[in-house]
Amino acid sequence: MRVGFLHSLIRPEEKLLIRELRRRSGVELVFLDDRRLVFDLRTPPAVDVILERSINHSRAMHALRLFESMGTRCVNRYEVSRKCGDKILTAVALEEFGVPQPETRVAFTEGSTLEAIEELDYPVVLKPAVGSWGRLLSRINDRQAAETVLEHKAILGSYHHSIFFAQKYVEKGGRDIRSFVVGDECIAAVYRTSDHWITNTARGATTSNCPVTAELAELSLRAAEAVGGGVLAVDLFETPEGLLVNEVNYTMEFRNSIGVTGVDIPERIVSYLLSAGR
């Protein structure tokens, strides 16, 4: 089987996946560096399946659309990248599937967003619709901070920073949960713990094993289904009322989660990929 590996920079996750693919018999690895690709809209790549691992969301999403339009099976699918890459579209998908998430407001002007924030009540988190690794998240504790952040985003940001995505801040006790879904199974989960309110490992959070309870597995699978399924990382908050889904990631990072869970995540991803390519 010829496996296309869509990438730009090779992070530790990509390296682990490449090593796993090279271990498999009958697999020919074809590197598709998004910095060198040119599409003519008609000629599909000579591969049986593509594993998407681009670091740029916009390139990944458009490349997936182009590959799929030419009949190439991709993991993950374009629709999944579109929904997961935009927090507003993720929130809509979760809502449509009845997946619990933090109280959310979307608004398009500073004035309407300020009203929405006041109605949610402080603290509130403002997030860019497109972004990762905890970048440009704002925890807003009072009206003065809200006015300042909204003005800065509207004046200093590009146009999409004026599409405001606000959520009620969830007190999560210094940690959140990341679960890993591959196909129809929740294969592992970790706690991500930090003294900072942002608990991304890219921001220094540490990981430890989180038991995959029936509740966690069921909710993770439902969140994955909501965005279209595949290979996904679901970020969740623990609250007294139960788990809330915060985000779903479609080009998931897992370098800090293999050792603590004991689950060979790249092996599971590659097995899923190869079965999808058959």
Among 1, 2, 10, 203, binds other proteins (CB under 8 A): 10
Enumerate the β-bridge partners of residue 12.
Answer: none
CA 29 – CA 179 distance, rounded (Å) = 28
Contact call for residue 27 and other proteins (CB under 8 A): no
Give CB contacts under 8 A, 24+ apart, made by 68-72.
69/41, 70/41, 70/42, 70/43, 70/44, 70/45, 71/44, 72/4, 72/44, 72/45, 72/47
Among 32, 253, 256, 261, binds other proteins (CB under 8 A): 253
3-state secondary structure 85-120: HCHHHHHHHHHHCCCCCCCEEEECCHHHHHHHHHHH
Q: Which stretch binds other proteins (CB under 8 A): 43-51, 64-72, 97-105, 128-136?
A: 128-136
Could you tell me the maximum CA-CA distance found in the chain, to the nearest angstrom?
A: 61
For residue 121, the minimal CB distance to other proteins (Å) is 29
For residue 5, the minimal CB distance to other proteins (Å) is 10
Enumerate the β-bridge partners of residue 164.
Answer: 107
CB 137, CB 200: distance < 8 Å: no
Q: Token digits for 45?
A: 């790549």
Q: Which stretch binds other proteins (CB under 8 A): 56-64, 70-78, 144-152, 258-266?
A: 56-64
Among 15, 143, 152, 196, binds other proteins (CB under 8 A): 15
Contact call for residue 11 and other proteins (CB under 8 A): yes
Q: Which stretch binds other proteins (CB under 8 A): 146-154, 164-172, 220-228, 246-254?
A: 246-254
CB 15, CB 60: distance < 8 Å: no
Among 207, 249, 256, 261, binds other proteins (CB under 8 A): 249
Q: How many residues bind other proteins (CB under 8 A)?
A: 30
Of residues 183-202, which lie at the interface with other proteins (CB under 8 A)?
none
Q: Which residue has the tokens 């060979």?
A: 264
Binding marks (x or -) toward other proteins, 60..99, rule CB under 8 A? Answer: -------------------------x--------------
* Smaller CB separation from other proteins, 175 or 178: 178
**Which residues of the chain form contacts with other proteins (CB under 8 A)?**
7-12, 14-15, 18-19, 22, 31, 33, 55-58, 85, 128, 130-133, 135, 233, 249-253
